[in-house]
């Protein structure tokens, strides 16, 4: 659902603000009744917002430079939900926020039938995925997970078991050459999961164009980037990872579909 994708993408982008600015946006302009913000000692940040119809959990991504991401992948795989193995650093981040997060979800859902949604960009996408996995392992209902620029989060067993349980409700958006979506590498036993949604170099949204066509499309994107002004920080893979670019692409697609 493109409207869901857009709303959750904007929420994921908002997570990069400070607590007070997030609160003002959520409870003011967006009109949500309830809001909670958590930050752990390892800098994991997540906010939860709720109204009469839904509860939304939003994990913040990494504020580090792309060049610093390699240190996020020095941790080994550890036992995780669904009987598979997951990235130790990501999983530790979720576990430290877990008790507060569970309480917030329970309080905000109450005894009603509110839907429950998760989202995140970059590191936040991995954290949101593991939080959903923990809930689903306990057979708790979750209505949807939308991620943007997500790194690989666990091994093949984790991905297969997660998909078996929840794939129709997971939408993993990738923008062309987004470099973070290709780490940690498959060679380290990591694997992607969810329903794949891919923006081509021209901004066309497709499901799965196949490995070879993806390779050609990414190559074309890299060639285009050579002719754009800027140094290393403006390379195609980094620009494509920016959350504001995901929002712009989804919004454009949403408006085009509405006109059609």
**Among this protein's residues, is 225 annotated catalytic?**
no
Closest CA to 116 of 8, 201, 253: 8
178 in catalytic set: yes
Measured CA to CA in angstroms, residue 176 lies from 16, 112, 122, 221 at distances of 22, 40, 15, 7
Give the tokens for residue 219.
Answer: 């190559």
Query: C-alpha distances in angstroms, 154 versus 14, 54, 63, 124, 188?
Result: 26, 28, 22, 14, 10
Give the span between the Cα atoms of 32 and 25, in whole angstroms: 9
In SS3 terms, 137-161 reads as HCCCCCCEEEEECCCCCEEHHHHHH
Count of CB atoms situated within 10 Å of the CB of 22: 21
CA 165/CA 169 separation, integer angstroms: 9
| Cα distances (angstroms) measured from residue 116 to each of 38, 44, 46, 236, 240 | 18, 20, 15, 34, 28
Q: How far is CA 185 from CA 44, 81, 135, 155, 160, in A?
A: 23, 21, 27, 11, 17
The candidate with the shortest Cα–Cα distance to 195, out of 182, 205, 204, is 205
Assign 48 to helix, strand or coil. strand
- Single out the catalytic residue among 155, 178, 217, 240: 178
Q: Which residues are catalytic?
A: 122, 178
């Amino acid at each position: 659902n493109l409207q869901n994708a857009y709303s959750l993408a904007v929420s994921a982008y908002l997570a990069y603000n400070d607590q007070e600015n997030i609160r003002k946006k959520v409870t003011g302009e967006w009109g949500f009744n309830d809001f909670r913000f958590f930050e752990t000692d390892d800098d994991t940040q997540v906010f939860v917002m709720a109204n009469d119809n839904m509860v939304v959990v939003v994990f913040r991504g990494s504020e580090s430079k792309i060049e610093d991401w390699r240190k996020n992948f020095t941790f080994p795989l550890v036992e995780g939900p669904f009987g598979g193995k997951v990235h130790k650093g990501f999983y530790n981040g979720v576990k430290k926020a877990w008790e507060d997060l569970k309480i917030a979800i329970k309080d905000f859902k109450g005894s009603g039938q509110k839907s429950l949604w998760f989202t995140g960009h970059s590191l936040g996408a991995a954290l949101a995925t593991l939080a959903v996995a923990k809930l689903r392992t306990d057979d708790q209902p979750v209505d949807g997970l939308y991620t943007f620029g997500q790194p690989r989060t666990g091994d093949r067993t984790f991905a297969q078991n997660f998909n078996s349980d929840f794939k129709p409700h997971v939408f993993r958006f990738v923008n062309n050459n987004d470099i973070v979506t290709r780490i940690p590498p498959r060679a380290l036993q990591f694997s992607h999961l969810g329903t794949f949604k891919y923006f081509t170099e021209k901004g066309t949204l497709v499901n799965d164009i196949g490995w070879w066509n993806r390779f050609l499309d990414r190559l074309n994107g890299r060639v285009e980037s050579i002719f754009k002004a800027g140094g290393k920080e403006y390379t195609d893979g980094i620009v494509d990872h920016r959350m504001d670019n995901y929002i712009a692409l989804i919004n454009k697609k949403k408006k085009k579909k509405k006109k059609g």
